[in-house]
Structure 1
Amino acid sequence: MTGPVWPRTARWRLLLVLVLAAAVTVFTATVPLLRDFFDLRVYYGTVHTWVHHGGRIYDYRVPGTSYGFTYPPFAALTMLPLAPLGRNTAIVLSLLVNLAALAVVLRILAGPGWRRHGWYRWSLVLCLLALFEPLRDTFSFGQVNLVLLALVLGDSWLLSTGRGRWAGAGIGLAAAVKLTPALFIGLLLLAGRRRAAGIATAVAAVATALAAWADPRASRFYWTEALWDTSRVGRLDYVSNQSLQGVLARLGETGRPMWAAVVLLTLCVWAWRARGAVKSGDWTAAFALTGATACLVSPITWVHHLVWLLPSFVVLVRAGRPRLAGALYAVLCTSVVWLWYDGSFGIGGFLGSNTYTWITLGLLLGLPTGQPRAALPLVRRNTVMTPAPSPASPATSAAGQSTPLAGACDAAAATGTAGGLAGRGLARNASSEPTGSTRPAASKPQSSNWRASPYTDPPP
C-alpha cells in the first residue's frame, strides 16, 4: 500500500473507527461467551486461602467446580498482590495488567517506527485485536498469557537491538510462572546465545528455589505429583485443547509413545526452522516459530493460550503476505472449533475440530524467515530508484510506505468481518464450563453444571 488507508479525511476516519468499535462491542457482547474472570477466580481464591486461611496452594477449588491452581508455586508468589484486594479491585487490576502487557507486545512487534502509524491505524488494529478469540478470552478469563508473551518478547527486543547483556531474564521469569515458555531457552541454545540461556536458566532456578523456600510442601507436591497429572488441568480430548495431544486424544489415541514421537518430530522441524531464522538475524520469526511450537507440543493448549501466535501474523504481514495473515487471523476470530463441541466424528469433524491446530502447524512449517529487523524493520519502506542528482537535473524521488498495520487492515477488508462465521450461526446459550465458548451447556467430567460462586465465598 502506497498511500493512506481509506478513508482519507480525519472526519470520515473517526466515523469509521466509531462504527467499527460499535460493531466489535456488539459482537463481543452477543456472540462469544464472557468468562466471568474464571481463571482470575482461581488465582484469587488460591492466594486468599493460602494467605488468610492457612490453606495449601493446590488444595483450593473454585466453589461449585473441580478447578484449582495448576501453575508452579512461583506463580502463586507473583500473585500475592491479590491477597489484600477485594473482588472488583482484583478484576480492575487484571484488566490493567493485561492492557499494559498488550501495549508492550504491540510496541515491540511494531518496531521503531510505531509512532508513524498514527491514531487511525492503531485504532483499526485494536478493533481487529478485540475480535481475536485467544485475546478476548485472555481478558475475559483474567489469564496471564499476555504478560508471559510480553516478558519473552522483551528478550527478543534485547537480542535484535544488540542489547543482549541481560537478555534471558524475561524468559526465565516466564518459565518459572508457566512451563511452556521454557522452550525459548532451547531457542537461545540453538542460537548460540549461551549467556542469555544461562541467565534464563538461572532466573528460573532462583525463582523456583524462592517458591520452595516460601512453601516447601507445595513445591514438593507440584514437582513430584501435580506436574505429571494432566487430568487436573482438563480432559485431553476436550475441543478447547488445540495441541497435538488434543488431536491425538480426539482420535482416541491417548498413549504416551505416539504423542512423544509426534512431539519429537515437531521439535526437530522447529529446531531446523528456528536455527535458519536466527542465522539470518530474524529474531522476530525465530520467536514466532518457538511460540507456535510451544502451543503444539504442550499437552494442553487451551484456545486462549494461542495469543502466542500474534508474532506470527506480524511476520506474515512484514513478509508481504497480508491477505494470508488476514485469512488465518479471521478464522481464529470465529470460534469455529466449537461447532464440534459435542463430538468430532468423521473426516469433517477431524478437520474442523482441530482447525486452530492446523493453523499453528501451518505457521510452523511455512512462516517466512530471513528478514532481519536491521535490514527490514517492521515498518517497511518501498523506495523508487532514482538517478544520481546532477546540476542540470535536481534529485527527485518518490517513496511509499507499507506497514504491517496497513497490511492487516487491507487483509481484513479482503476477507470480510473477522467474526463473520461466528455471527452466522455460532451464537449459543451461555454455559458454566470455564473453558467453553459459544456452545450449549453440557455436563463434562472436568467441570460443574453450577456457575462458580463469588470470590467472597469461603473455600470448601
Structure 2
Amino acid sequence: MTTIERTPSATAALQSWWTALPRAARVILSILPALTAGYAVYLWAHTVVGPHHHQFDLAIYFRAVHFWAAGNDIYDYSQFDPVNISLGYTYPPLAAVLMSPMAATTFAVVKAITLPAIVLSAAACVLLILRERVIIPRGMTVAVVGVVTAIAFLLEPMRQTLGFGQINLFLMLLVLLDVLVLARRGSRFTGVGIGLAMAIKLTPGIFLLYLLVSRQWRAALVALGTAVTATLAAAVVAPAETWRFYTSLLFESDRVGFLGSSANQSINGLLARFTSPLPPSTAVWGLLVLVLLVAGYRRVRSAVAAGDVLAAITLTGLVGVLISPVSWPHHIVWVLPAMVILGSTLIRGVLAAVRSGGPVAPRLRPLIGPAVLVATGVFIWGWDTRIVLGLPDVDYTGLGPLAMLAGSLPMFWTLAALFVLPVTSFPRAALSASSRRVAAGTRGTPTD
C-alpha cells in the first residue's frame, strides 16, 4: 500500500504557463489535442486493430423496440448473429421502457444521438477518475480530459462499447456519480445511481458489495429502494414483460450467446470452454464465485480502510466481471480506472525512487506487479487477443487446453488485477466517516 503525496509545484508552474497564454491559444490548445488524438485513435482502432462492429447491438435494441411497438413481446424478438446464431433483447423491462422512444425515429437518428452520448459519458467518467489521482491545472480540463478520453478508446472494452453501441459507459457513469460525487457531498440521494444501474441491467448489483463493506447502510437501502421502485414503474408500462423476465428469462443465461464463446471473459466462460459441448458445472462455478467474493471483500475492505474510494469501486467492478455468468469484453469498462490507478502508481513510484537519493532498486521493487499489469494490459486490452492469437469464436474442439487458456487472457488479467491493483493510503483527515469506521475496525482501535 502506498501513501499519496500531492506536490502542487509542477502543477503551479504549468498553471502559470497556461494563464500567460493568449485566450485564443488556450482555446486552440484545449480543443485541437483532443480532436487530433480522437481521430488518430479512430484510425488505429478501425484500420489496424480490429473490425468495426457498426453498432450491431444498438441495432438489436432499435429493431426489438420497433417489434415491441408493433404489439409483440419484446423478449420474443430475435435476429441472426454470425457467431451466436440468434440474439434477442436481454435487458430488464426498465431498459426497454427507456429505449422505447427509438420506435418513433430512424436508426440514423438513434446513432447520431447515442454515439456522441457514449463519448461524452466516457469523458465524464475520465474526469471523475482523473480527479482521484491527478491535479488538473485550472483551465486545462478540456484538453487533458479530451486527450485521455481519446486514448481510453484504445482499450478493447471502450472500443467495443462504442463499436457495438452498448450501454456500459452509461452504467459506469451512474455508479461513479453516486460514489465520487453524491457520497462525497453526503447527499441523502447516494445510492440512486447504483439503484438505477441495477434496474437497467442486473450486473451493477455487485456495487452493493462496496456500499456494505464501506458501511454506507442508508445508501445501500436507497440503492435497493431505487432499483425496486424503477422496476415497479416499468411494470406499470410493461406488466407481462416484467413478470416474464423476473420469473423465467432471468435464469436463462444462454439467451445472451454461447457461454463458451471466446468473448465470454468471466470465470464461467473459461469453465464453459473446457466442458464444451456440455454446460459448465454449476457447483464448480458457484465455489469459484464464493472464493472470488471473499477475496474481493478483503481487497475492497482494505481500499475502503485506506480511504482509496477509486480503488475500492474499481476492485468491486472487477469482481463483478469475474463472477458474472457472462462478461463480454465491452462489459469490462472497469479496466479504465484500473489502468489509471496502475499508471499513476508507477509514475509516482518512479519519481519518488529517483528523488529519494538512496538506492533506487529497493524502492522500485514494489512496482514490479503494477508494471507487469500495465505491460500485459497494453497487449491484452490494446488488441482483440482472439484475432491476434488466431483463436475461434466458439468451437475449441481439438485445440487443447493451452488454446482454451489463451482464450481467457483478458479474464486472467482481470483476476491478476483483483489481487495486484495498488491501494493508495490517503491522509486520515480525508477519509469519510464510514471509511474511518472501517479503518478503525481493521486496526483494532476504538471507532471515532
TM bucket by the smaller chain?
Answer: 0.7 to 0.9
1:20-419 correspondence runs (5 A): 23-31=40-48, 32-51=50-69, 53-62=70-79, 66-111=86-131, 113-116=135-138, 121-158=144-181, 161-252=184-275, 254-320=280-346, 323-324=371-372, 326-331=374-379, 332-338=381-387, 339=389, 340-341=391-392, 343=396, 345-372=399-426
Q: Which has the higher helix share?
A: 2
Deviation at 1:49, TM superposition (A): 1.7
> What's the TM-score once normalised by structure 2's chain length?
0.76
Deviation at 1:111, TM superposition (A): 1.1
Deviation at 1:106, TM superposition (A): 1.1
Aligned length: 374
Q: Distance in 2 between matches of 1:12 and 1:119?
A: 9
Q: Distance in 2 between matches of 1:374 and 1:41?
A: 49
**1:200 aligns to what SS in structure 2?**
helix
**2:333 aligns to what SS in structure 1?**
helix
Q: Distance in 2 between matches of 1:12 and 1:168?
A: 38
**1:166 aligns to what SS in structure 2?**
coil
Structure 2 alignment gaps of length 5 or more: 1-6, 347-366, 432-448
1:148 to 1:20, Cα distance in 2 relative to 1, 3 A = closer
Deviates more, 1:279-288 or 1:191-200: 279-288
1:372 to 1:80, Cα distance in 2 relative to 1, 3 A = farther
* 1:189–1:197 Cα contact (<8 Å) kept: yes
* 1:57–1:69 Cα contact (<8 Å) kept: yes
Q: Distance in 2 between matches of 1:274 and 1:70?
A: 30
2:60 partner letter:
V
**1:185 aligns to what SS in structure 2?**
helix
Aligned to 1:405: none
Q: Distance in 1 between matches of 2:103 and 2:417?
A: 40
Structure 1 alignment gaps of length 5 or more: 378-460
Q: Deviations over 1:360-398 (max 9, x none)?
A: 001111111243488799xxxxxxxxxxxxxxxxxxxxx
Q: Distance in 2 between matches of 1:239 and 1:223?
A: 28
Deviation at 1:263, TM superposition (A): 0.4
Q: Distance in 2 between matches of 1:188 and 1:292?
A: 15
**1:242 aligns to what SS in structure 2?**
coil
1:335 partner letter:
D
Q: Distance in 2 between matches of 1:17 and 1:278?
A: 34
Deviation at 1:165, TM superposition (A): 2.2
1:221 to 1:373, Cα distance in 2 relative to 1, 3 A = farther
* 2:152–2:336 Cα contact (<8 Å) kept: no
Q: Distance in 1 between matches of 2:414 and 2:80?
A: 35
2:68 partner letter:
W
Q: Which runs of 4+ in 1 moved over 6 A?
A: 1-5, 8-19, 373-377
Structural RMSD (CA): 3.0
* 2:93–2:235 Cα contact (<8 Å) kept: yes
Q: Distance in 2 between matches of 1:302 and 1:373?
A: 37
Q: Distance in 2 between matches of 1:101 and 1:14?
A: 17
1:193 to 1:376, Cα distance in 2 relative to 1, 3 A = closer
1:323 to 1:122, Cα distance in 2 relative to 1, 3 A = farther
Q: Distance in 1 between matches of 2:45 and 2:173?
A: 24
1:254 to 1:275, Cα distance in 2 relative to 1, 3 A = same
Deviation at 1:126, TM superposition (A): 3.4
1:12 to 1:147, Cα distance in 2 relative to 1, 3 A = closer
Q: Distance in 2 between matches of 1:16 and 1:185?
A: 38
**2:113 aligns to what SS in structure 1?**
helix
Identity %: 34
Deviation at 1:204, TM superposition (A): 0.2
* 1:337–1:354 Cα contact (<8 Å) kept: no
> What's the TM-score once normalised by structure 1's chain length?
0.74
1:50 to 1:18, Cα distance in 2 relative to 1, 3 A = closer
**2:59 aligns to what SS in structure 1?**
helix
